[in-house]
A and B are shown apart, each in its own frame.
Chain A
Amino acid sequence: MNFVEKEAGAADSASAPAADQKVINLALQGGGSHGAFTWGVLDRLLEEERLSFEGITASSAGAVNAVVLAHGLTLGGREAARNTLRMFWKTFSARTSHGVMQPSLLDKMSGKYGLDHSLGYLFMDALMYFTSPHMYNPFNINPLKSLLEETVDFERLRQQSAIKLFLGATNVRTGKVKVFKSEEIGSQQVLASTCLPLLMQGVEIDGEVYWDGGYSGNPVVFPLVYECETRDIVMVHLTPAERPDIPSTSHGIMNRMQEISFNASLIREMRAVAFINRRIVEGKMTEGKEMLIHVIEAEDVIREFPGSSRLNNDWGFLSHLHEVGRDRADKWLAVNFNRLGKESTVDVEAKYF
């Protein structure tokens, strides 16, 4: 039943039960529908019997993937987790893509999976600059909430999760990140982590109101450093940090402002990780551990999709992203599996400085 063997979770990979057994932490970014890429990555990683997960830190769509995965594991291991993830994304698409936000014929023809010609999207987009969700959706109807509650047995998850979960949300009052841990996670905590404030009302938990974790950590790395044993962190990047074209339309500019904001705290945190790593390697720090950083990403693919594609839940688009995710994870495993537990497989300074 237990996915991560006790011994494996408690020691570094050298003393793990089998010599080729590796334990990693995952850091999952948000990105709306683009989270289907992460689903593809997880789907492929779950097939790899030699690999198991200790902790997952996640924001927004990453948080959704994390709880669905963890719930699936409590049901019956890897296979159940893979099935639960697929069922979740399939149902999510079926319930949301027939609504106002479906791509129009023009969107489908453009091959970029945007919603820029969808009447519903254009209407919503114009609406949200003038009226807030408090006005256009006063009953606060959120299709994600019911789907999460149908899919995930949160009570069981809080009791039995084999994975340490850390879901990031942003406290609206203080601007600081709030990390919800396994034993306190319910549907409200996941919704808080995914709450885009122009599309939904802030989520209230114990008297505090929360917005999407992306504003203050996408995702936060420190819980993996402080609360997990394994030193390996596999980052699954969805928010494009690099974009060679300078935007010159209002939409393009606003989209890029958000991408930059949603990467800012991660970049700053990775710089801190690199700084501390260097001091440890130089023998100048006698506490703390060198973290080993790995990245699975599809920036080159995601860059090509317009910002509006984050709201495109069309099954064709989601399964395409899922395939890309599987493919990237497959290649990553082939190249990097043996280096886990030994070294970082990405040049942290080059990527984040």
Chain B
Amino acid sequence: MATSVVNNETGASDPQGGPKIVNLALQGGGSHGAFTWGVLDRLLEEERLSFEGISGTSAGAVNAVVLADGLAKGGRAGAKDVLRAYWKKVADATSRGFFRPSVFDKANPNFGLEHSPGYLFMESLAYYMSPYQVNPLNLNPLKDLLAETIDFERVRQQQAVKLFICATNVETAKVKVFTGKELAVEHVLASACLPLMMHAVEIEGQCYWDGSFTGNPALFPLLFECEAPDILMVHITPADRPEVPKTSPAIMNRMQEISFNTSLIREMRTIAYLTRLIDAGKADGAKRLFIHLIEAEDLIRKLSWSSRLNGDWSFLTRLFEKGRARADKWLAATLDRVGVETTVDLQEKYF
């Protein structure tokens, strides 16, 4: 049923084998978002599990909005269909576009675009010419793709999930969270706006860039505005990378990865601190959160940085399958612990 995905009145999960409700936190990562699509696809099949809120940034915001639209359109099956349709369109647009992988890239086990003439051209161009010079008309293929796939009116009306879409206010450097009732294509574009590739997105006189700079994604909306105490993180920006980068592109990639995890790490540390106080009986009335994690760090680390722009269908479906497999394992091992305890070692992961 369209509006009954969350049907538990208290908003909390049943600790005994009954229905389980989680909030989702979806990171950005361009094409790597296909991993998240796979995770969602598998979670949607699990009838015992439903979602209350979703906080998403960049590719995570796209997945969140597509999911919500699909749920409203046709329940769990509808959501699975619309997600697949969206990612298929990404692949179709790529096969016609500038960033299509060359035969050399297709032979490359790290799925990079280092041999794609379009990618190489853009990459060197970006250091000298901004998108305001390269693309003065601000043509944005993602905009058309979103507008074709998503019925934003339905997204604004739907009550199946609470949506929180994160973007970065360029003027103030602060995170901005857009919520369900106000969502239009601009908000999703703002959340996914990489500033060396696209113009900043203007909404009501304010300019926005990718939310990853300030919240990838922000967790506080799930704490303050949702009932369910469980947060399931889908982590696709590698925090750990054992080798130290020594070339300029690798250094710049790592600088961005670190920046794109920093607010999340800080927010998780605050959650860990509050949790300690709550468990010690020293913080009245605060909500005790349970944190869970599905991650792809080990997979993503092996991929080239430029593979975030690789929309080739075989690559996307490969990530999708990995996402499904990880979610499947997570459900088997962890679903019964939802609503009961945190299943990730916060100290180990974020300190």
Contact = CB atoms under 8 A, between A and B. Distances in A.
A252 B128 CA distance: 11
A244 interface: yes
B262 interface: yes
Contact of B244 (A173, A243, A268, A353): A173
B133 to A, nearest CB: 8
B171 A175 contact: no
A271 B257 CA distance: 22
B96 interface: no
A264 B207 contact: no
A268 B127 CA distance: 30
B277 A202 contact: no
B286 interface: yes
Given A244-B171, A267-B173, A132 B130 contact: no
A146 interface: no
Interface hub of B173, B220, B257 (most chain A Cβ within 10 A): B173
A215 B277 contact: no
Interface stretch (B78-86, B155-163, B266-274, B312-320): B266-274
A222 interface: yes
Interface in B164-179: 168, 170-175
B270 A272 contact: yes
Contact of B196 (A216, A250, A279): A250
Contact of B282 (A217, A249, A257, A287): A287
Nearest to A275: B270
B277 A285 contact: yes
A174 to B, nearest CB: 5
Given A175-B239, A264-B173, A284-B286, A246 B200 contact: yes
Contacts, number: 161
Contacts of A215: 255, 258-259, 262
Nearest to A201: B246
Interface in A175-204: 175-176, 197-198, 202
Interface in A272-324: 272, 275-276, 279, 283-288
Contacts of A217: 262, 266
Interface string B167-193: 010111111000000000000000000
Interface string B104-126: 00000000000000000000001
B196 A175 contact: no
B285 A284 contact: yes
B244 A175 contact: no
A265 B170 contact: no
Interface string A233-250: 000000001111011111
B262 A216 contact: yes
Given A250-B129, A279-B286, A287-B277, A131 B259 contact: no
Contact of B258 (A170, A259, A267): A170
Contact of A267 (B127, B171, B174, B239): B174
Given A250-B196, A284-B286, A241 B248 contact: no
A134 B351 CA distance: 29
B247 interface: yes
A256 B283 contact: no
Interface in A338-353: 352-353
A241 B169 CA distance: 10
Interface hub of A170, A243, A264, A275 (most chain B Cβ within 10 A): A264
Given A260-B213, A353-B174, A172 B254 contact: yes
A253 B175 CA distance: 17
Nearest to A263: B173
Nearest to B267: A268
- Contact-size category for A: 35 or more
B11 interface: no
A246 B202 CA distance: 10
Contacts of A252: 130
A191 to B, nearest CB: 15
A128 B248 contact: yes
A10 interface: no
A288 B130 contact: no
B262 A242 contact: no
Interface hub of B259, B269, B284, B350 (most chain A Cβ within 10 A): B259
B181 to A, nearest CB: 21
Interface of A: 128-132, 134, 170, 172-176, 197-198, 202, 209, 211, 215-217, 222, 241-244, 246-250, 252-254, 256-257, 259-261, 263-265, 267-269, 271-272, 275-276, 279, 283-288, 352-353
27 contacts: A134-B247, A175-B239, A176-B239, A197-B255, A198-B252, A215-B255, A215-B259, A217-B262, A242-B171, A242-B173, A243-B171, A244-B171, A246-B200, A248-B132, A250-B126, A250-B127, A256-B170, A257-B195, A261-B255, A264-B263, A268-B267, A272-B267, A272-B273, A275-B270, A284-B283, A287-B282, A352-B174
The 9 A-B pairs at the shortest CB distance, nearest first, are namely A261-B259, A272-B270, A248-B132, A287-B282, A175-B258, A268-B266, A134-B246, A241-B173, A260-B173
